[in-house]
Amino acid sequence: MWTVLLVEDEVFVRESVRRIVDWHSLGFDVIGEAGNGEEALALIEQHRPHLVICDILMPKMNGVEVLKRVREADIDCRFIMLSCLSDFEYVRQAMEFGASNYILKLSMNVQSLMDALVKVDAELRKRPKREGGREADAGYQEGGPPARASDLPSSLQAETGHKEVDKLILYMKENYRSIISLKTLAGQVAMDEKYISTLFKKKTGTNVIQFLHQLRIEEAKLRLEQTSLSVSEIGLQVGYENDNYFIKIFKRFTGLTPNTYRSRFLTGHPS
């Protein structure tokens, strides 16, 4: 089971989130609750849950700050943020820090929460092994669902054997939702941008931009297959703020629009 921490200062909202879905049937186990940001951070540091469902506006420490602190501490867990309509700027910041999803409290229902959980489950199943950390599926307790093979093409799964290039590949896999520039990548390995560009293509057979697009499109395909999220929502989640651009890139890599891809998948004819 993937472990979950519920963080919400309003008790009735917290109870509602716990009550509206069958957690175990989806492979999750709620192991604790917190009513403010400071309490949440302490529990996260202690229990290292796989998923934190976290309110944005809370006493003592808001949800974005909790997420930021968790990322700074290099604790590997996913976040689903709960927000109000007025929290858009906080939502944007949360997505920049790598939140998996957000749900508007006023429109939260069984389906929206289940869609978010399915997405997180898929992310957790295919996360890479972290050096010095627990393995990708080590969080599953005995008797939990078996791990799937990664949905990424072999070209995106294989390590190159080059330490710096492999580090950049891992960085892109973990941060594909964010804006990633060549300058950002060069800073990750303290190398010259032009040199990194040449080295990356030599070791992977493709350039940085194409690799990132391919990674994002594979993630988008997974969401189209496993959730009922709109094309616009999926595009935003995988790093494309402009709907038309997302559709253009998706069609370039798959030959289909996102809606056509989803329709064919649901009818058993994805290609």
pLDDT tens per residue across span 54-69: 998 888 889 889 998 8
Please give the model's pTM, rounded to 2 decimal places: 0.50
Binned at pLDDT 50, 70 and 90, residue 270 comes out as low
- Joined tokens for residue 177: 């939702």
Per-residue pLDDT, 156:
54
Structural element, H or E, at residue 210: helix 208-226
As annotated, the residues of the chain forming the CATH 3.40.50.2300 domain(s) are: 2-125
Beta strand 78-83 with 101-104 is parallel
Q: What is the CATH number of domain 2-125?
A: 3.40.50.2300
Rounded CA-CA distance 100/115 in Å is: 11
Q: Which one is predicted more confidently, 109 or 258?
A: 258
- Joined tokens for residue 96: 């920049």
As annotated, the residues of the chain forming the CATH 1.10.10.60 domain(s) are: 154-266
Identify the architecture of domain 154-266 in CATH. Orthogonal Bundle (1.10)
Maximum alpha-carbon separation in the chain: 55
Per-residue pLDDT, 30:
93
pLDDT at 199 over 80: yes
User: What 8-state DSSP symbol labels residue 270?
Assistant: -
